[in-house]
Amino acid sequence: MEFMGYVRPDGKAGARNLTAVIPSVTCANDVAQAICRQVQGTVAYLHHQGCCQLPPDLERVTDTLISIGKSPNVANVLVVSLGCEGTDYERMVKEISETGKRVEIIRIQALGGVSKSIQAGTDLARRLVIEASGLQRTSCGISQVIMSIKCGASDTTSGIASNCVIGYVADRLVDLGATVVFGETTEFIGGEHLLARRAVTTEVGNQILKIVEQMETRAKSLGCDMRKGQPTPGNIEGGLSSIEEKSLGAIMKSGSRPIQGVLDYPQAITTEKGLWIKDTPGREPEILTGMACTGAQVMMFSTGRGAPQGFPSMPVIKICGNPNTYARMEEDMDINAGLILTGDKTIEQVGEESIQKMLKVLSGEMTKNEAIQYFSAIDIHTLGPVI
Amino acid sequence: MELKLALKVNDLDNVATLFANAVRDGDEVEIRDKKGGRDHVKVRGDVPYGHKIATRDIHVGEDIVKYGEEIGIATHEIARGDYVHVHNLDSKRGRGDWKEGR
């Protein structure tokens, strides 16, 4: 099984060939956005972090932005810095450059302000996209694939239809020597014992239990019932009565293969194969960023109530398990898993269809959210306060 | 009339999920399990698509079970066929409002 990808200088295979315009701090967002409006082939990451945070969070934001730049879907990078931020923009340039990619930086304060920076950044971005656009796709093996998985705007169809489809795809990919990453630690609560049992070692199993305990402690920190936060009002309207029920449905998408280990939020995959967990919250803007950090070229995203969003440099394939939602929101959904509950298709049939779709998307076919650029609401998950 | 189906995903479950539109109080639904077993029950209460009904009587404080795992506890007496959701099921996790040791 193969796909047509872009081979990067570090040997990784990309499904997209984008110039990443990365604000090193939220205060540089408008300049990054203005450059991207002007130059085709660029994407901006309009996050809200990078200053007036405690040192571990500043390091986490720096590491996250580095991992995004290192992703094989990114051809080259323009870092947009303000100049006085708390993140380490010099380390961003240095570490992304280690992949062999070209990395440029503009500094808004040093260049004399916003309009001069937009001009300088536009000229640099133009050179970067022209350089990237000359690359050709070549045949790449399926073992090069890192697939991330996620469910959002879930209802009870997710755990019975669309998450089972993703579980089927995850098992197939692991068996073919590829890498699969799932997360949403909050949505392990109530099902963590089942995941811990699938860990390759006792240590990994204990680590799974530990990240769930940490997430639950955070959820309880305000002294209230977490319901409405998790499950969300939409989940509850969709029939999910408790976090336990939501979690047991959510973990269906991890399939059945052994869990190799737990990755930190900003961590990139280097040579790891098989099924991995990334410690993330469930909310889309933060988890999609965390998953893009792994270097995932593609995401499979299951939904019941209809979550339309994607990510700037990681195509997101939407699989809808609710036949009523699919009928209403077909324009935002890539795969109809609602046919499982109507009795028209099996999980295996929709699973095979999803694998074929994934190979096409990896080779360049756009997903529905990608085609309309519905992917600007991104963020980075931090742990401490803004101070 | 269209057959109204509910799925019981594990033998240990005491609830089934209804995948039918416009189920009203008193409607009869068919509960199917993975082995092809069929059970007919009269639904008590209007139940939206994707919501749950009890497959047997469940007492206050008893675990409510789906996927063969507990998903919460019953806060009221629940009879077979009753609509089961946040009005009679309480989550046991993420309860910052519960005192330690409860």
Q: Is A29 on the interface with B (CB under 8 A)?
A: no
E-state strands within B5-81: 5-8, 15-18, 28-33, 38-42, 52-54, 63-66, 69-74
Question: Which residues of chain A form beta strands (DSSP E)?
Answer: 2-7, 13-14, 18-23, 42-44, 74-81, 103-107, 138-141, 146-151, 179-182, 259-263, 274-278, 298-303, 316-320, 335-336
Is a pLDDT exceeding 50 seen at residue B101? Answer: no
In a domain, B41, yes or no: yes
Checking B40-45 for CB contacts under 8 A at 24+ apart, the result is B41/B6, B41/B80, B41/B81, B42/B81, B43/B18, B43/B81, B43/B83, B44/B79, B44/B81, B44/B82, B44/B83, B45/B82, B45/B83
Cβ atoms of A80 and A117 closer than 8 Å: yes
Does the residue B102 lie in any domain?
Answer: no
pTM for the whole structure: 0.96
Residue B1: what pLDDT?
A: 55
Which helix (DSSP H) or strand (DSSP E) does residue A292 occupy?
helix A284-293
Beta strand pairing call for A316-320 and A274-278: unpaired
Residue B89 in 3-state DSSP?
A: strand
Structural domain including B18 reads: 5-90
pLDDT value for B100: 63
B76 falls within a domain:
yes
**Which chain B residues touch A303 with a CB distance below 8 Å?**
none
Q: What is the mean pLDDT of chain B?
A: 93
In a domain, B97, yes or no: no
Tell me which chain A residues have a C-beta less than 8 angstroms from the C-beta of B45.
none
**Short-list B52, B99, B49, CA closest to A242:** B52
B7, B86, B94 member nearest A219 (Cβ): B94
Cβ distance B71 to A245 under 8 Å? yes
pLDDT of residue A106: 98
B residues 16-55 closer than 8 Å to A (CB): 17, 19, 21, 48-52
In a domain, B83, yes or no: yes
Instruction: Summarize pLDDT for B13-41 with one digit per residue, the tens.
Output: 999 999 999 899 999 999 999 888 999 99
Partner A contacted by B69 (CB < 8 A):
yes
Tell me the shortest Cα–Cα distance from A295 to chain B, in angstroms.
Answer: 31
Tokens of A113: 């302000």
Question: Residue A326 contacts by C-beta under 8 Å, 6 or more apart in sequence?
Answer: A320, A333, A336, A338
Please report whether residue B96 resides in a domain: no
Task: For residue B30, give the CATH number of its domain.
Answer: 2.30.130.110
Helix A114-133 with A29-38: angle, nearest 10 deg: 50
- Residue B100 forms part of a structural domain: no
**Tokens 């402690």 label which residue?**
A217
Residue B95 lies in a domain: no
Q: Which pLDDT value is given to residue B3? A: 80
Closest listed residue to residue A6, CA positions, set A147, A176, A95, A133: A133
CB contact (8 A) between residue A227 and residue B91: yes
| d(CA A240, nearest CA chain B) in Å | 7
**Sequence-distant contacts of A260-266: CB under 8 A, at least 24 apart:** A260/A200, A260/A204, A261/A200, A261/A204, A261/A207, A262/A204, A262/A207, A262/A208, A262/A211, A263/A181, A263/A294, A265/A60, A265/A64, A265/A290, A265/A293, A265/A381, A266/A60, A266/A63, A266/A64, A266/A66, A266/A67, A266/A290, A266/A293
Under 8 Å between Cβ of B96 and A223: yes
Given CB atoms, is A216 within the 8 Å cutoff of chain B?
yes
A377 touches B at CB < 8 Å = no
Half-sphere exposure of A279 (CA within 13 A, CB side): 20
Cβ within 8 Å of B, A 273-312: 304
The mean pLDDT values, 10 residues at a time, for chain A of 387 residues are 97 98 98 98 98 97 98 98 98 98 98 98 98 98 98 96 98 98 96 98 98 93 88 96 97 98 96 96 96 98 97 98 97 98 96 98 98 96 94
CA atoms within 13 A on the CB side of A287: 25
- Which pLDDT score, from 0 to 100, does residue B34 have? 87
Q: Are A221 and B89 in contact (CB under 8 A)?
A: no
Q: What is the ipTM of this complex?
A: 0.96
Residues B13 and B68 sit within 8 Å (Cβ to Cβ): yes
CA distance B57 to A387: 53
Q: Which residues of B touch A216 (CB under 8 A)?
A: 93-94
User: E strand or H helix at A34, and its extent?
Assistant: helix A29-38
Do residue A220 and residue B91 have CB atoms under 8 angstroms apart? no
Rounded Cα distance, B23 and B50, in Å: 11
* Backbone CA torsion sign across A69, A70, A71, A77: positive
pLDDT (0 to 100) of residue A294: 98
- Tell me whether B85 touches chain A (CB under 8 Å): yes
